[in-house]
């Protein structure tokens, strides 16, 4: 599984967990699972920090590239 597949699986899993949350506590637990101190996104980001610039560039999907986030001039 490459980085893009891992990211897509993570996003799919997060969406599913958030959609299945039936109470505020369920939602908080799902949030912690993905975004908490030792959450899956946090662990993924720690791994990204170890990659070289060349390795990071192809892993960034176009939908979240910095160019798409900048304000129009």
Cα(2)–Cα(58) distance, rounded to whole angstroms? 11
Q: Regarding predicted confidence, which is higher, 3 or 52?
A: 52
Give pLDDT, residue 21.
Answer: 95
Q: Is the pTM of this model over 0.75?
A: no
What the block records as the tokens of 16 is: 């599913």
- Residue 21 CB partners (closer than 8 Å, separation 6+): 27, 29, 30
In this structure, are residues 33 and 39 in contact, taking their beta carbons and an 8 Å threshold? yes
Q: Regarding predicted confidence, which is higher, 69 or 34?
A: 34
Q: Residues 17-63: pLDDT tens digits? A: 999 999 999 999 999 999 888 898 888 888 878 877 777 666 556 55
- Domain layout of the chain by residue ranges: 3-69
């Amino acid at each position: 599984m490459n980085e893009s597949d891992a990211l897509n699986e993570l996003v799919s899993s997060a969406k599913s967990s958030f959609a299945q949350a039936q109470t505020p506590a369920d939602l908080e637990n799902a949030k912690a699972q993905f975004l908490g101190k030792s959450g899956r996104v946090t662990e993924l980001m720690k791994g990204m920090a170890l990659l070289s610039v060349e390795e990071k560039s192809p892993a960034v999907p176009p939908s979240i590239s910095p160019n798409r986030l900048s304000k129009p001039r």
